């Protein structure tokens, strides 16, 4: 039986005497055709490829609940990140440096190759339960339960309980999960424009980010053919915060302070270019494995918003923290389109509200 990568699914088929095999969703038809596997599991709507169109008034209502949660998360993000930074300052467990305007100017000059790369090439729930995203997911589940009077239940699986960083997008495309809230950088494999979030010093402040989320440019990412072709619908952005650098080697004040160090980073050419511009190396390591990688010295540092740095306890395995606010790490809500359109219209409207 073809399955998605998941220990739970392996156990499920092993218990009934079947042999699970892992294949990419796009390869399933061929593998079934040539007999590499005898069967698979999927939602009815995936098998029939049944597509329903929404009326304009329903489309208008679709984002209401997501918008409500988004605004709630903006407030929570600001509150938690401010409190977390205060906690980090007061813990006496790590040395902190705040970038001055002059520091930022030097960094921007060093990052010029990153900006050039973006112009040339790209213009055309794995987090902890008490993270911003974890709290927002729980709040969303609560709202859906209240608005639908229990007719729709949202089950939240934090900390990669079902799928990890590398698997959740494939799981969504195949219908093995119905909704995910990944870091937007994870969508690069479908559309490289999602790397906008990794551009150094692109956004000035939270208001600037919020204005972008509400812009036509941002909505064009959700409406891209690349998502529709993979049975995905984008629903809403969820903010998380500005990223900051940390290191075990030395304080990161000037661009040359990065030389020779290796940093954990998400996948993407923009991030590769960012660290290359700093004469540093980067390694793509899943978020859940980052603590161990820092502890074992596989990498010297990382970049994260205050809240992620705190909830993952990276301060236990890092000595220096630079409040650089050089990039963003935000999330977005995506649903399996076939599953979404199989839900009765009245319930979809309630969920979106």
Low-confidence ranges of the chain (pLDDT < 70): 3-18, 23-30, 41-63, 65-67, 69-70, 73, 115-141, 143-145, 147-166, 347, 350-353
Residue 36, CA distances (Å) to 23, 99, 170 in order: 10, 56, 20
What's the confidence (pLDDT) of residue 46?
47
Residue with tokens 């218990």: 15
- List of residues 6+ apart from 282 with CB closer than 8 A: 262, 263, 264, 265, 271, 272, 274, 275
Go through the domains of the chain in sequence order and give each one's CATH number: 2-41 (no CATH), 55-353 (3.40.190.170)
Asked if 181 contacts 133 with a C-beta cutoff of 8 angstroms, the reply is: yes
pLDDT the model gives residue 193: 83
Exposed/middle/buried for residue 207 (C-beta within 10 Å: 0-12, 13-18, 19+):
exposed
Given this model, what pLDDT does residue 194 score?
A: 86
Rounded to two decimals, what is the model's pTM? 0.64
* Cα-only R_g, the chain: 21
Q: What is the pLDDT of residues 165-174, one digit of tens each?
A: 557 788 888 8
Q: Is 322 in contact with 261 (CB distance < 8 Å)?
A: no
CA nearest to 108, candidates 346, 312, 345, 278: 278
CA distances from 163 to 49, 69, 177, 184 (A): 24, 23, 9, 16
Residue 115, classified by CB atoms within 10 Å of its CB into exposed (0-12), middle (13-18) or buried (19+), is middle
**Which element (helix H / strand E) includes 86?**
helix 64-90
How many helices (H) does the chain have, and how many strands (E)?
Answer: 17, 11
Of the candidates 238, 309, 307, the one whose C-alpha atom is nearest the C-alpha of residue 72 is 238
> With contact defined as beta carbons under 8 Å apart, do 305 and 82 qualify?
no
CA distance 210 to 293: 33
């Amino acid at each position: 039986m073809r399955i998605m990568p998941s220990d739970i699914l392996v156990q499920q088929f092993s218990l009934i005497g079947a042999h699970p095999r892992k294949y990419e969703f796009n390869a399933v038809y061929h593998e079934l055709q040539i007999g590499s596997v005898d069967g698979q599991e999927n939602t009815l709507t995936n098998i029939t490829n049944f597509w329903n169109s929404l009326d304009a008034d329903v489309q208008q209502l679709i984002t209401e609940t997501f918008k409500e949660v988004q605004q709630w998360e903006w407030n929570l993000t600001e509150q938690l990140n401010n409190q977390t930074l205060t906690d980090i300052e007061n813990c006496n467990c790590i040395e902190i440096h705040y970038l001055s305007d002059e520091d930022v100017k030097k960094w921007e000059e060093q990052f010029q190759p990153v900006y050039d790369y973006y112009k040339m090439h790209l213009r055309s729930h794995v987090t902890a339960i008490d993270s911003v995203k974890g709290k927002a997911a729980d709040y969303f589940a609560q709202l859906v339960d209240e608005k639908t009077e229990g007719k729709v239940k949202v089950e939240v699986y934090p900390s990669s309980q079902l799928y990890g960083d590398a698997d959740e997008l494939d799981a969504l495309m195949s219908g093995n999960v119905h909704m995910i809230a990944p870091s937007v950088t994870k969508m690069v494999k479908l559309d490289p424009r999602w790397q906008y979030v990794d551009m150094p010093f692109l956004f000035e402040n939270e208001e600037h980010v919020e204005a972008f989320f509400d812009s036509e440019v941002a909505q064009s990412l959700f409406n891209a053919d690349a998502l529709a072709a993979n049975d995905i619908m984008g629903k809403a952005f969820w903010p998380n915060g500005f990223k900051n650098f940390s290191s075990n080697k030395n304080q990161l004040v000037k661009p040359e302070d990065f030389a020779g160090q290796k940093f954990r980073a998400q996948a993407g050419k923009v991030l590769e270019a960012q660290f290359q511009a700093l004469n540093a190396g980067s390694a793509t390591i899943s978020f859940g494995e980052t603590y161990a990688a820092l502890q074992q010295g596989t990498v010297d540092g990382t970049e994260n918003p205050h809240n992620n740095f705190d909830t993952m306890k990276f301060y236990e395995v890092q000595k220096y923290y630079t409040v650089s606010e050089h990039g963003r790490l935000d999330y977005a809500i995506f649903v399996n389109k076939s599953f979404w359109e199989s839900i009765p219209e009245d319930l979809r409207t309630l969920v979106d509200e």
